[in-house]
Chain A
Amino acid sequence: MKESPSVDQPSTINEDLAPLIRAVEEADSKGAMVVAVGRLAAQRHPGAIPTLIQVLGYNNPGAAVAAVDGLVALGESAVPALLEELDGYNYGARAWAIRALSLIGDPRALKILLETATGDFALSVRRAAAKGLGHLNWALLPAEQVAAAQSQSLQALIQGTEDPEWVVRYAAVVGLQGLALAIDETSCTQEFTAIQQQLQRVMQQDNTLAVQARAKLALTTLADAPMAQ
């Protein structure tokens, strides 16, 4: 997920791309759209990015999934355009764009993920952002910024475990597990312990069984991590 296949190559115009983009624009049914987006995404070409992002706003879940897959495969090169898209007001598109950013894991998305994980009106957006905060590729940040950034993520995720929607709390638990495993590599014992304690609380006190179960799984996973030994 971390590789960015085409970004460093000279962006020669891919002759195959134009007809594929046209096929997306001209698709006359939801099914045809899914197929067209899948074909365009499979090119893994940066020239497809604007079209793939546009598809996120079409209210077609199948096509959006294919577009997110394509954007995630393009990795870092899709990040600037995705960050711009988030200024838009289409909540459906926003959720998909946050999901793509979360899966790419580029820390340039940190600020927007922090804002949306706790403050967005749509629960699907908070859910995607919470997962993303735990799965950033911290190695892409300058070393001196990592600790502060992880501590901000930790705060937002702990707040996420208090969200009124169970699925956001679930995603925050997944995020905390990811963050703890990342911290494990950078050796911040105190924060690792704070995460374990929060997960323990969620496991014992959350009112949704699925969230309790996910916290239990996270604790088991962390118990196997070297830091916990």
Chain B
Amino acid sequence: METDAQQLVNAQGESLTVEQAVVNLQQTEDTGLRYYAAWWLGRFRVTQPDAVDALIQALDDESDRAPDGGYPLRRNAARALGKLGQSRAVAPLIQCLACDDYYVRESAAQALGALGDDRAIPSLVNLLAGGVEAAVTVEGKPHLVQPYNAILEALGCLGAQLAVEEIRPFLSHSVAQVQNAAARAMYQLTGDDSYCQRLVERLQEPNLQLRRSAMMDLGAIGYLPAAEPIAATLAENSLKLIALQGVLEAHLQDIRFPDADLSPEAQRVLALMDDLL
């Protein structure tokens, strides 16, 4: 949307055009400008070919390095490409799954899940090698050896039925968020409601972060029976509304709205959303 760009420019006090963003991304003097340009192109869904080319090129960047040895620009470029729906980004993103920066692998896995191309499945499944036993924390880091959440969620989105047996053990991983991601993928791959019930139970957890993440998972998979529990959980209205939007829109697509009329279920979710505004 045009108005989107205008609004952001005002809020940030920075003005960018698509042409300028591409130029900023291609220059190598100012890493800050490159980083911002990559984000900006994704945020405004710029799909013109030279922008996509520049983002794909940025996946190989060597100049922008974080103190921990990571690749900030690659991370942002991968995230942006996940929003642009361009299938020629799939192969370069698959390459990123082998990057030694954890956060590049995470962004690439999320992007590949969003792009919905099943060519990514084998490489994603490879990252689950060693199963739960191998899925331990990296010493001195705040993360596990692989971005398991992103990998499991992507496999669920990609409909990787063949990976069900590799995914199932992660339901009992020691990290609650990983369990959630596995439950979410298992539901998407098997259609078995009991996996969603685990997520619904999480909405009663004393820990706010866990309630938030379960809520967003239920919204992402569009589990209609979770609408009331989402509305009732103790969390910000803003997040509840996003989760309920996910639930509602999955259902609307099922019933083929707007060609079909609103179902009683859709009206029920809308009423819950009205109360949270």
Which A residues are closer than 8 A to B by beta carbons?
A: 30-31, 34, 61-62, 65, 102, 121, 123-124, 127-128, 130-131, 162, 164, 166-167, 170-171, 174, 203, 207-210, 212-214, 216-217, 220
**Which of A34, A207, A213 has the largest count of B CB atoms less than 10 A from its CB?**
A213
Tell whether, in the assembled complex, residue B253 and residue A170 are in contact, meaning their CB atoms are under 8 Å apart.
no
Mark interface residues in B245-259 (1 if CB within 8 Å of A CB, else 0). 100110011000110
Q: Provided the pairs A209-B249, A209-B252 are in contact, do residues A216 and B7 lie with their beta carbons within 8 angstroms?
A: no
10 interchain pairs (CB within 8 A)?
A61-B234, A61-B235, A164-B3, A174-B274, A209-B257, A213-B248, A213-B257, A214-B273, A216-B258, A217-B262
Which single member of A30, A164, A216 contacts B262 (CB below 8 Å)? A216
Measured between beta carbons, the chain A residues less than 8 angstroms from B248 are 209-210, 213
Once A61-B234, A210-B249 are accepted as A-B contacts, the answer to whether A170 and B3 lie under 8 Å apart by CB is no
B30 CB within 8 Å of chain A: no
Q: In the complex, what residues of B have CB within 8 A of residue A203's CB? A: 258
Indicate if the CB atoms of A164 and B277 lie closer than 8 Å. no
Nearest to A203 among chain B residues (CB) is: B258
B270 at the interface (CB under 8 A from A): yes
Shortest Cβ distance from A154 into chain B, in angstroms? 18
14 extra interchain contacts, Cβ-Cβ under 8 A, other than A167-B245, A207-B1? A30-B208, A31-B206, A61-B234, A61-B235, A65-B234, A124-B237, A167-B241, A170-B273, A210-B245, A210-B249, A213-B258, A213-B262, A213-B266, A216-B262
Contact B252 A213 (CB under 8 A): yes
Chain B residue at minimal CB-CB distance from A177: B274
Interchain pairs with CB closer than 8 A, number = 68
Q: Report which B residues bind A (CB closer than 8 A).
A: 1, 3-4, 7-8, 11, 206, 208, 234-238, 241-242, 245, 248-249, 252-253, 257-258, 262, 266-267, 270, 273-274, 277
Cα separation A62 to B7 with both chains bound (whole Å):
31
B263 to chain A, nearest CB (A): 10
A213 touches B270 (CB 8 A): yes
Query: Bound state CA distance, A217 and B258, in angstroms?
Result: 11
**Roughly how many angstroms separate A212 CA and B1 CA in the complex, as a whole number?**
16
In the complex, what residues of A have CB within 8 A of residue B252's CB?
209-210, 213
The smallest C-beta distance from A157 to any residue of chain B, in angstroms, reads 13
- Nearest Cβ distance between residue B210 and chain A, in whole angstroms? 14
B4 to chain A, nearest CB (A): 5
Chain B residues closer than 8 Å to A220, beta-carbon distance = 262
In the assembled complex, the CB of B215 is this many whole angstroms from the nearest CB of chain A, namely 12
Q: How far is the CA of A124 from the CA of B236 in the complex (A)?
A: 10
Q: Report Cα–Cα, A166/B277, bound state, in Å.
A: 12
CB-defined contacts of A61 to chain B, threshold 8 Å:
234-237
Determine whether the beta carbon of A174 is less than 8 Å from that of B3.
no
Distance (whole angstroms) from the CB of B247 to the closest CB of chain A: 10
B4 contacts which of A123, A130, A164, A217 (Cβ < 8 Å)?
A164
Q: How far is the CB of B277 from chain A (nearest CB, A)?
A: 4
Shortest beta-carbon distance from B232 to chain A in Å: 11
Nearest opposing residue in chain B for A209, CB measure:
B249
Q: Which of B236, B237, B238, B253 contacts A209 (CB 8 A)?
A: B253
Q: Give Cα A226–Cα B230 distance, bound, in whole angstroms.
A: 35
Give the shortest distance, in Å, between A118 (CB) and chain B (any CB): 12
CA distance A102 to B277 in the complex (A): 10
* Residues in A neighbouring B266, C-beta threshold 8 A: 213
Q: Distance in Å from the Cβ of B184 to the closest Cβ of chain A?
A: 21
Q: Please, which residues of chain A bring their CB within 8 A of the CB of B241?
A: 167, 170
A171 and B277 contact, Cβ closer than 8 Å, known pairs A124-B238, A166-B245, A210-B248: yes
Q: Report yes or no: A212 in contact with B258, Cβ–Cβ below 8 A.
A: yes
Q: Which of A131, A210, A216 has the most CB of B within 10 A?
A: A210
Residues from chain B with Cβ under 8 Å of A212 in the complex: 257-258
Measured CA separation A213–B258 after assembly (Å): 8
Closest-CB distance, A64 to chain B (whole angstroms): 9
Asked if A164 and B257 sit within 8 Å, CB to CB, the answer is no
Once the chains are docked, how many angstroms separate the CA of A203 from the CA of B267? Answer: 15
CA distance A174 to B253 in the complex (A): 22
A214 near B11: Cβ-Cβ < 8 Å: no
> Taking A166-B245, A216-B262 as contacts, is the C-beta distance between A127 and B270 under 8 angstroms?
no
Which residues of B lie under 8 Å from residue A210 when comparing CB positions? 245, 248-249, 252, 273
